[in-house]
Amino acid sequence: MANPYDQAHELARVLKESEEFGKLKELHEVVNSDDVAKRMLDNFRQVQMELQQKQMQGAQISEEEIQNAQKQFELVQQHETISKLMEAEQRMSQVIGDINKIITEPLEELYGAQGEQGEGGQQ
Amino acid sequence: MANPYDQAHELARVLKESEEFGKLKELHEVVNSDDVAKRMLDNFRQVQMELQQKQMQGAQISEEEIQNAQKQFELVQQHETISKLMEAEQRMSQVIGDINKIITEPLEELYGAQGEQGEGGQQ
Ligand SMILES: [Ca+2]
Ligand SMILES: [Ca+2]
């Protein structure tokens, strides 16, 4: 009988061979082999991460920090390969999100039906 | 060619037919058809959710609230079917967590290899 783990490995293999993953991997390699692009992207991610951490900790974020993040974002957006990489990352993240929804659907059904179960419908 | 979405639906089907899901569904139905058990569990979840929300908002949690949560927890633990349901939920959550790790492994590999990529290994 098929088991969820084997099936998950099969899905990982298909995902790895997908067009979305191939594109992401290719762009990732291009950006990482370009020292200027890599530094620009690392910088952007660093700034983003610091802001996210501050937000999670409920810390004050200054006008200057917001403007700096905005500047970094515009910079990477103008870099063709980086912006393509970021688009590919968003698409992959969409695919992973969709997959998670599909996989947890049986659980959603089970918990969504809570209260109906065994009560013979409307009452 | 196999695509990730078809494969995810296949995985969802296998998961739904798995022993872990079957057990969870069965216990879920037993608890939900027992009004006393259902109310006890609903109460426990409500208390848990309120505490979690307070924690996320960084709000103060009183000694009384902790003791109340502890009491509710002991109560549901002593209820055989509820405690079995909670164990089945933990097992299912473990399976889902494992599956997520397996699926995102290609991405972990890609991002874990960041900095190595295109740089000819050690330097
Ligand atoms: Ca490089
Ligand atoms: Ca009932």
Distance from CA of B18 to the nearest CA of A (A): 7
Residue tagged 């296998």 (tokens): B14
Instruction: Note the pLDDT tens digit of each residue in B75-123.
Output: 999 999 999 999 999 999 999 999 999 999 999 999 885 444 444 444 3
> How big is chain A by its Cα radius of gyration, in Å?
21
Chain pair A-B, CB pairs under 8 angstroms: 116
Q: What is the interface pTM, i.e. ipTM, of the complex?
A: 0.79
Distance from CA of A5 to the nearest CA of B (A): 7
Write the residue in A1, A14, A29 that is nearest to B4 by C-beta: A14
Q: Is the pLDDT of residue A91 over 90?
A: yes
For residues B18 and B103, give the distance between their C-alpha atoms in angstroms, rounded to a whole number: 18
A107 to B92: CB separation less than 8 angstroms, yes or no: yes
Write the residue in B18, B24, B107 that is nearest to A4 by C-beta: B18
Instruction: Note the pLDDT tens digit of each residue in A5-59.
Output: 999 999 999 999 999 999 999 999 999 999 999 999 999 999 999 999 998 888 8
Q: Is the pLDDT of residue A121 over 60?
A: no
- Which residues have CB atoms below 5 A from the ion given as ligand 1? A 33; B 118-119
B chain contacts of residue A103, beta-carbon cutoff 8 Å = 8, 11-12, 15, 96, 99
Neighbours of A77 (CB within 10 A): 12
Contact present, A63 and A41 (Cβ < 8 Å):
no
Burial class of residue A103 in the structure, from the number of CB atoms within 10 Å of its CB (0-12 exposed, 13-18 middle, 19+ buried): buried
State the pTM of this model.
0.80
pLDDT of residue A1: 61
Q: Is the pLDDT of residue A95 over 80?
A: yes
